């Protein structure tokens, strides 16, 4: 294809738009005398031929990227019920706030006196997260949930070492845990011990007792867990771990279900991390910057990374004086823009608004779970929190249709698929988190699509196993796409 006109075609995917001489900009001619590159650069490093860059007009560029953006599913286009990831709608106004000049362009080395507003925002954010988590001190430094876990476990290790308990090296993790928990525990130098879930999907108390010994550093727990189930035994669990001399780590990546209702600190947790990029107005995914603040109880506050933001009278300052700090975990003060968005979100919602989020998220999940339970197996059939895990075992065993097929077929119905095959303890898992921002009509439409797919699995299974049919690309080799992505523009691609 010449590149003069992009003809919309689905197959094959036409990518080449370049035509010689075309430009997307026009600049006045330079009045600076041109220099000879050979005078400023070593000769062997000079390009021998011009780079093969795409030559395109401005409309070509705009249309190309707009078209690409429309080929992706996003939360601004449709329902995105990705369990354990809280893909909720985030108010755009918070993006505008974070983009304000004084926030977006503030230099990290600006003297404290000139950035009192930014420091105040961070200080107040620390305070809000203390309040929401039931903890006493917070660092905003970690850049992601996993980074927060690493920071938290490192704090726990340093604290234990300071008490002469440096030998404690075991981190207990339930078999329903998010994969980052064991990964971060290991990177922080610990060994992991798995503890089984009981028939109700909670921590099996006897198994926990069996492993809670003098080598335990901590238990890492998500509550509600990745099954979306709240573990009512949390006080018993906390007691067992504390009596064994270990601490409790709360993975609060998805706090949507509990905000304003339950505080991990009150339930006995000593260390908590939050994902601002799930619960607090930054989308998760897309590889953008995240933020995983960590909160701790008083006894652990001296171990936080430095600096934290302090307040002295009316003045805010960066406090580097923590005597037992584990040191920095990130340059400067964390991903400030994400903190600004979370701050704007918390301030605009207010305590009552955050409680409403929890109520509506839990209501939506239970509503959807009951509808989907007509056609799909529920391994743990009880009231859930912000998410639930259904299973495709009926479809697999009766019709040879796998959960992956169901997920792909959902794309044909215009929905993003839920998280699949996680948590690992549910076979053919479909992990669904509707979030608080979806209307009843959307939830009904999704449930209807799931019901239709269940019927198709029975009557015309090849429709499901051959899905997706209506998307721009069909079923991909996902492992290869992730491991060997082919993203580079090459001017030498064969032209049509």
Upper half-sphere CA count for residue 417 (Cβ side, 13 Å) = 20
Query: According to DSSP H, which parts of 32-179 are helical?
Result: 37-40, 58-70, 92-98, 101-104, 116-133, 145-162
Nearer to ligand PLP, 234 or 447 (CB): 234
Cβ atoms within 10 Å, residue 464:
27
Return the structure tokens found at 265.
């600190």
Shortest Cβ distance from residue 291 to ligand PLP (Å)? 9
Find, among 474, 437, 434, the residue nearest to 450 by Cα. Answer: 434
Backbone angles phi, psi at 346, to 5 degrees: -65, -45
Cβ atoms 225, 250 nearer than 8 A: no
Nearer to ligand PLP, 84 or 126 (CB): 84
Shortest Cβ distance from residue 8 to ligand PLP (Å)? 36
Shortest Cβ distance from residue 257 to ligand PLP (Å)? 12
Task: Label residue 310 exposed, middle or buried (CB < 10 Å: 0-12, 13-18, 19+).
Answer: middle
Nearer to ligand PLP, 293 or 392 (CB): 293
Nearer to ligand PLP, 3 or 152 (CB): 152
User: Can you tell me the distance from the alpha carbon of 111 to that of 291, in angstroms, rounded to the nearest whole number?
Assistant: 24
Shortest Cβ distance from residue 326 to ligand PLP (Å)? 19
Containing H/E element for 183? helix 180-187
Cβ atoms 246, 218 nearer than 8 A: yes
Shortest Cβ distance from residue 287 to ligand PLP (Å)? 10
- Length of the chain equals 496
Shortest Cβ distance from residue 81 to ligand PLP (Å)? 14
Nearer to ligand PLP, 85 or 190 (CB): 85
Nearer to ligand PLP, 126 or 275 (CB): 275
Q: What are the angstrom distances between the C-alpha of 401 and each of 156, 220, 479? A: 45, 35, 21
Backbone angles phi, psi at 70, to 5 degrees: -80, -15
- In the complex, the residues that contact ligand PLP under the rule CB under 6 A are 84-85, 144-146, 178, 180, 222, 226, 251, 253-254, 275, 290, 292
DSSP three-state, residue 170: strand
The label of the residue with tokens 């993203």 reads: 487
Cβ atoms within 10 Å, residue 113:
10
Shortest Cβ distance from residue 252 to ligand PLP (Å)? 8
Shortest Cβ distance from residue 40 to ligand PLP (Å)? 44
Shortest Cβ distance from residue 84 to ligand PLP (Å)? 4
Nearer to ligand PLP, 143 or 464 (CB): 143
Nearer to ligand PLP, 227 or 296 (CB): 227
Cβ atoms 206, 198 nearer than 8 A: no
8-state DSSP, 421: S
Q: Which residue is nearest to ligand PLP, using beta carbons?
A: 145
Q: 75-102: string of b/e by CB count within 10 Å (b at 16+)? A: beeebbbbbbbbbbebeeebeebbeeee
Shortest Cβ distance from residue 125 to ligand PLP (Å)? 17
Nearer to ligand PLP, 251 or 436 (CB): 251
Cα angle: 223, vertex 226, 228; to 5 degrees:
70
Nearer to ligand PLP, 56 or 384 (CB): 384
3-state DSSP percent of the chain in helix, strand and coil, to 5: 40, 10, 50
Shortest Cβ distance from residue 133 to ligand PLP (Å)? 15
Nearer to ligand PLP, 337 or 468 (CB): 337
Nearer to ligand PLP, 178 or 399 (CB): 178
Shortest Cβ distance from residue 85 to ligand PLP (Å)? 6
Cβ atoms 103, 340 nearer than 8 A: yes
């Amino acid at each position: 294809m010449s590149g003069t006109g992009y003809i919309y075609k689905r197959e094959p995917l036409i990518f080449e738009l370049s035509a010689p001489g075309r430009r997307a900009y026009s600049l006045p001619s330079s009045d600076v005398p041109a220099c000879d590159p050979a005078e400023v650069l070593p000769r062997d490093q000079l390009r021998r031929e011009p780079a093969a860059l795409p030559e395109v007009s401005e409309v070509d560029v705009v249309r190309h990227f707009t078209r690409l953006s429309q080929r992706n599913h996003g939360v601004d286009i449709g329902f995105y019920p990705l369990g354990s990831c809280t893909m909720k709608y985030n108010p755009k106004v918070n993006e505008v706030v974070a983009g304000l000049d004084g926030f977006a362009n503030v230099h990290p080395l600006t003297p404290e006196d000139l950035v009192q507003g930014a420091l105040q925002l961070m200080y107040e954010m620390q305070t809000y997260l203390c309040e929401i988590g039931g903890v006493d001190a917070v660092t905003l430094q970690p850049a992601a949930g996993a980074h927060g876990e690493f920071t938290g476990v490192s704090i726990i290790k340093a604290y234990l070492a300071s008490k002469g308990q440096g030998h404690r090296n075991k981190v207990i993790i339930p078999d329903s845990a998010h994969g980052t928990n064991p990964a971060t525990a290991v990177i922080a130098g610990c060994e992991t011990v798995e503890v089984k879930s009981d028939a109700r999907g909670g921590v099996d108390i006897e198994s926990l007792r069996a492993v809670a010994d003098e080598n335990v550093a901590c238990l890492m727990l998500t509550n509600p867990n990745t099954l979306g189930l709240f573990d009512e035994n949390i006080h018993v669990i906390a007691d067992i771990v504390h009596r064994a001399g270990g601490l409790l780590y709360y993975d609060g990546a998805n706090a949507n279900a509990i905000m304003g209702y339950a505080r991990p600190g009150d339930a006995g947790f000593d260390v908590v991390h939050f994902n601002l990029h799930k619960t607090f107005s930054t989308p998760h995914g897309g590889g953008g910057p995240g933020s995983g603040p960590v909160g701790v109880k008083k006894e652990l506050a001296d171990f936080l990374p430095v600096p934290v933001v302090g307040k002295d009278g009316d003045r805010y300052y960066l406090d580097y004086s923590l005597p037992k700090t584990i040191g920095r975990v990130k340059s400067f003060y964390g991903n400030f823009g994400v903190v600004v968005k979370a701050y704007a979100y918390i301030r605009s919602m207010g305590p009552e608004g955050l409680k409403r989020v929890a109520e509506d998220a839990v209501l939506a999940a239970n509503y959807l779970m009951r509808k989907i339970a007509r056609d799909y197996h529920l391994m743990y059939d009880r009231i859930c929190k912000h998410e639930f895990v259904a299973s495709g075992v009926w479809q697999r065993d009766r019709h040879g249709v796998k959960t992956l097929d169901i997920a792909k077929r959902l794309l044909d119905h215009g929905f993003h698929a839920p998280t699949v095959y996680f948590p690992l303890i549910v076979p053919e898992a479909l992990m669904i988190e509707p979030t608080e921002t979806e209307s009843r009509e959307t939830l009904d439409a999704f449930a209807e699509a799931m019901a239709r797919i269940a019927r198709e699995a029975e009557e015309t299974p090849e429709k499901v196993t051959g899905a997706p049919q209506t998307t721009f690309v069909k079923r991909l080799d996902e492992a290869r796409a992730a491991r060997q992505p082919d993203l580079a523009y090459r001017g030498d691609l064969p032209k049509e």
